[in-house]
Amino acid sequence: MDHRDGDEWNDAPGNLRWLCKACNTRLGLAMARAGEGRRTRQFNPGAETLAQYVQAAVEHRRGEHDAGGLVIHETPPERRSKFAKEIWRRRWAHGSG
């Protein structure tokens, strides 16, 4: 979805049109270079709970571009660190650390 005026907050029907991802990216970069438009801040939360993070880790295969890896990489570093500490705490509590 492209915003004709470059303002990603302007979702008026007349401002929207369908473009392929490559064309939308190319036009967005051209507008940014020209100092036009207004981008939204993109946020992908990744895993929000320890259970989601562990499930992603179980599903992920090292070196693969899979859904588990995507969740792991989208999880902010401070949250990944918090999850890792909790995993180690639980492992030590069960004698498997």
Which residue's entry shows tokens 């500490």? 85
**Cα gap 84→88, rounded to integer Å:** 6
The whole-model pTM stands at: 0.52
Domain presence at residue 88: yes
The pLDDT-based confidence of 29 (bands split at 50, 70, 90) is confident
- As given in the structure block, the two tokens for residue 81 are 């660190």
Domain presence at residue 66: yes
pLDDT at position 97, please? 65
Q: Are residues 55 and 23 in the same domain?
A: no
- The range of the structural domain enclosing residue 18 comes to 2-33
- As given in the structure block, the two tokens for residue 33 are 């270079």
Task: Report the number of distinct structural domains present in the chain.
Answer: 2
pLDDT in tens, 30-75: 888 888 887 765 566 889 999 999 999 999 998 888 889 889 988 9
Domain presence at residue 71: yes
Q: Are residues 26 and 56 in the same domain?
A: no
Residue 25 φ/ψ, nearest 5 degrees: -65, -45
